[in-house]
Amino acid sequence: MKDNKAAFALIMTSCVYLILGMSLGILAAMKLMWPSIAEFELLSFPRVRMAHTNIVMFGWLLQVNIGLLFYIMPKLLHTKLWSQKLGMVVWAVYNVAVIGGVACILIGKGPFGHPGNKALEYAELVPPFDYMIALSWVLFGLNIVMTLRGRKVKYLYVSVWYCVGSIIWTAFVYITGNFITQIPGINGIAQANLSWFYVHNAVGLIFTPLGVSIAYYLIPKELDTPLYSHKLSLVGFWVISFTYVWTGAHHMIHGPISYWLQTVAILFSWSLIIPVAAVIINFLGTFNSAPRDRKLKSAVAKFCYVGTIYYLLTCLQGPFQAIRTINVYVSKTDWIPGHAHMALFGAFSFFAFAGVYYVIPRIVERPLFSEKLANLHFLLTFLASIPFFAVLWVSGVIQGLAWLDLEVTFLDSLRAMKPYHMMRWFSGSVIAMAQIIFLYNIWETLLGANRPPGQEAVPTSDGDAAEEIQA
């Protein structure tokens, strides 16, 4: 089977899900202002919102990360992917799970008498589709580990560490949130604690190590500059391994869980500044030492740079909202979706965009159709993301203050949100339109269409990736 076939299939399918998921997000944002829009049971707000989060998280982001790592790991290990056929099995099983699970959410009914969803945050997919996601992850992990065993290099670059770590962490986190929470007898506070462990670590121990792994590869490669510090990169890896697992309970501060557990979650939330600092210093240090004419020349470099800044802001916002006196104002408000969107979209999707722009031309051995369109995609996405995140944080604080004021009714707080929800919808719509430009650019690259006049060719050879990055 042709090299990179599995990586190509996963990446391209994920790009289609990106457009679909964002379209549902726009519909959900419109329903916050005009509830009667698309007034069908199939498109009710709860179903649209659950479909949006699952498509964006699993259809787009997790799938594109799997595809990018199927390309990156063989490059770093100087060997072919262990099995392209197994990679295609991963693609097939995974997409049946996503399509089937999201269809059940929208229809409101699952197979074998199950309801349409499991009514757990980020764990809505019902059997057998949640089991299929777990199976595809095991097969992905097997493929990576067997490729690792056959490597032709002695030393492992930090991207490999993060990738292998994410294989272990994702299995543990996903099983906890989707299956252990369903064991008879686990309910009430115990189930909530396990559920928030899953929700928080879905970002911290699934998407964070995958995104950081990809960025650690892309930044030195795109800038043609050695990584700032390999030792610092491993410090960040090992600290995140031991600290992130304890932070989920900070979502239940002032809740019915033990006070000591809340305190532990707060302390470990602040300890995350250590691995975050290691990553940020490494990324920005590499940018700082790069040749001036390469620092922000391409869309790949721009997405990586802004993704790094958003990662920094996300990881500063998290510890601060874990402080009890701040948490009382922002918990369960729009602030939390703003925080989650900055992590999954602002940081890790930006890294993924950079990865797609870097990898697809090299897989198909054709230059990117238009660097100008790629830069337009970056500019629209970046500029629209600023008000998108900002209005969620501001409206979240206003909501929190209103909910604590006994003289303000809930309807009054909803009326106060209308201009913020309007800006959320408008900026989100611009972001969605930018992704159409992204998909068009990639599609034209696949067709091998002629480049616009004056457009530079993008190199199609990746060279000895491991030697260049580790130099």
Length in residues, the chain: 471
Q: How confident is the model at residue 245 (pLDDT cuts 50, 70, 90)?
A: confident
Tens digits of per-residue pLDDT, 9-18?
A: 999 999 999 9
State mean pLDDT over 449-463.
52
pLDDT at position 450, please?
54
* Both structure tokens of 327: 């948490």
Listed residue (122, 203, 222) closest to 462, CA to CA: 222
pLDDT score of 248:
86
Q: How far apart are CA 71 and CA 204, in angstroms?
A: 23
The residue with tokens 């998290």 is 318
Compute and round to an integer the Cα radius of gyration of the chain: 22
Break the chain into its structural domains and give their ranges.
5-470
Q: How does pLDDT run across 423-435, given as a tens digit for each residue?
A: 999 999 999 999 9
Q: What is the mean pLDDT of the chain?
A: 92
- Which of 72-76, 113-117, 243-247 has the least mean pLDDT? 243-247
> Nearest to residue 300, comparing CAs of 405, 378, 386?
378
The structural architecture, per CATH, of the domain 5-470 is: Up-down Bundle (1.20)
Helix (H), strand (E) at residue 68:
helix 63-77
Cβ-proximal residues to 380 (8 Å cutoff; 6+ apart), any chain? 430, 431, 433, 434, 437
- Residue 462: is its pLDDT beyond 90? no
Query: What crossing angle do the helices spanning 63-77 and 208-223 adopt, rounded to 10°?
Result: 50
Q: Would you state the pLDDT for residue 273?
A: 92
Task: Identify the CA nearest to 50 among candidates 134, 110, 111.
Answer: 110
Which pLDDT does position 294 carry in this prediction? 86
Nearest to 351 by CA among 76, 64, 77: 64
Q: What percent of the chain has pLDDT over 90?
A: 82
Give me the mean pLDDT over the 46-62 stretch: 97
Instruction: Give mean pLDDT, residues 72-91.
Output: 97
Backbone angles phi, psi at 39, to 5 degrees: -80, 70
Query: How do residues 186-201 score in pLDDT, each as one tens digit?
Result: 989 999 999 999 999 9
3-state SS, residue 150: coil
What's the pLDDT at 246? Answer: 84
Check residues 126 and 40 and name the one with the higher pLDDT. 126
Give yes or no for residue 466 having a pLDDT over 60: no
